[in-house]
Amino acid sequence: MLSGKERDRLKVLHEVQGGHLTQGEAAGQLEISDREVRRLLARIAAEGDRGVVHRLRGRASNRRLAESLRSRALKLVKAKYRDFGPTLASEYLAQDDALEVSKETLRGWMMAAGLRRGKRRQVGEVHVWRQRRSCRGELVQWDTSVHDWLEGRGPRLYLVAMIDDASSQAYPRFMEQDSTEANLCTLWGYVERWGRPVEFYTDKSSLFTVNRPMLEAADEAVKEELTQIGRALRELGIGWIAAHSPQAKGRIERFFGTAQDRLVKGLRLARADTLSAAQTYLEEEYLPHWNQAFTVLPAGSTDAHRPLRAEYELAAILSLVEERIVTSDYTIRYQGKIYQIARGDIRPGLRGGRVRVEQRLDGSMAVKFRQYGLSVAECLAQPKTPSPRKPASAPRLRPKVVHNWMKDFHLRESPPLGLILPDATRGGSPTFFGG
């Protein structure tokens, strides 16, 4: 069968044979030399139209790899890397098995052996490409991935990650739960390592924003409510942007997609089955490879991260903060307990004022009034003294009620029927019984 290009070439050569074109004109249209035109005309005269077919069609390439290499690579893929993609499998073959095979060659071998299928192109909503920020620290995307990272070998883990928009430099950490405390711990580690970024880009999770129904009156004044993470970002002077769709924060989503393929398989080969083992592999093996293979140089050389100055006390800012009112006896109530403020810390305006209670990430508690720290002690509940029990008294019997109509009437001593007796209560007049 002739290809489309060969059919077009054959038509021009037929025009030359018919005398409608010269060999020079045909060479100009086909972008080949006059000598090649004469060679093709000679082939057509000897073999017919199939003379335009390239002589290498159907022949094995001289650069083809040995069949023994192909068999060995497919055997290793079936044994160790069956669910790996061609790119990742070629990296592990070169790293662990000393077998150099390009990813495209391995892709063809795997598809021919039935180990992989070609991907169908998905047609869906088109999202406009957004250019990266120019400097590191201008925008950092922040999210959590829920996945079976240990594939049932250990506890359920959550990957809380932050990725720089300009360079794709990532800071992930495994956590046992996706909570406010876990995200505050990740934020602590990020700002300690690189400083305070200009803005964070997150979704509209309840960890970052207070979701309230829309009010009917748009001009109604509403008090702004902040989550613990929102308050911490404001105290650190870091901006916050909410994404309206997962595609808007595509950089962190693609990071999770790569991690759910590469990181999961790396943890499997490393036999990680605990939180500490997974975190060790993440920091020592996966992140160095990510920073080497997937990060880019920012367009600008300026680092937009701002340093942590002395007034930013991370232990106080990155904690669970609530306000309490001091009662008249200088106590506060917090989490069902009563705490007494030390006498030496009492100062004007404290009684009836509001204090800041910080439940810190290390489990300790701190109380502040304005810029002053307060010492508090838990008030232990006083044991209740049992009240003396009253001796059991005999039950009172209700007196028998005797009605007037039963006066002087005795059933056992009632006379026989028809007997007339004198009635003293009626002046001695006779009373008749029995009829």
In tens, the pLDDT along 299-347 reads 999 999 999 988 899 999 999 999 999 999 999 999 999 999 999 999 9
Per-residue confidence (pLDDT) for residue 319, from 0 to 100? 95
Q: Give the dihedral sign, CA 101/107/112/114.
A: positive
Q: Are residues 20 and 78 in the same domain?
A: no
Q: Are residues 181 and 151 in the same domain?
A: yes
Per-residue confidence (pLDDT) for residue 73, from 0 to 100? 92
**Would the pLDDT of 385 be above 80?**
no
Q: Are residues 228 and 270 in the same domain?
A: yes
Predicted confidence band of residue 61 (pLDDT cuts 50, 70, 90): confident
Q: Are residues 146 and 238 in the same domain?
A: yes
Higher pLDDT, residue 17 or 427: 17
**Would the pLDDT of 275 be above 90?**
yes
Mean pLDDT to the nearest integer, 261-273: 95
Mean pLDDT to the nearest integer, 131-142: 93
Q: Are residues 41 and 73 in the same domain?
A: no
As a whole number of angstroms, the distance between CA 135 and CA 198 comes to 10
Residue whose token pair is 């009635």 = 423
Q: Are residues 162 and 258 in the same domain?
A: yes
**Would the pLDDT of 29 be above 80?**
yes
Q: Is residue 128 part of a domain?
A: no
Q: Are residues 94 and 145 in the same domain?
A: no
Q: Is residue 127 part of a domain?
A: no
Per-residue confidence (pLDDT) for residue 62, from 0 to 100? 81
Q: Are residues 192 and 164 in the same domain?
A: yes
**Would the pLDDT of 411 be above 60?**
no
Domain with 369, as residue range(s), is: 319-378
Q: Is residue 164 part of a domain?
A: yes
Per-residue confidence (pLDDT) for residue 118, from 0 to 100? 76
**Would the pLDDT of 433 be above 50?**
no
Q: Is residue 389 part of a domain?
A: no
Q: Are residues 170 and 283 in the same domain?
A: yes
b/e 395-422 (16+ beta carbons within 10 angstroms → b): eeeeeeeeeeeeeeeeeeeeeeeeeeee
Contacts of 127 (CB under 8 A, 6+ apart): 247, 248, 250
Q: Are residues 96 and 173 in the same domain?
A: no
- Which range is least confidently modeled, 161-175, 251-265, 303-317, 402-416? 402-416
Predicted TM-score (pTM) of the model is 0.70
Quote the distance between the C-alpha of residue 151 and its chain's center.
Answer: 17
Q: Is residue 285 part of a domain?
A: yes
Q: Are residues 144 and 289 in the same domain?
A: yes
Mean pLDDT for the chain? 86
Q: Are residues 340 and 413 in the same domain?
A: no
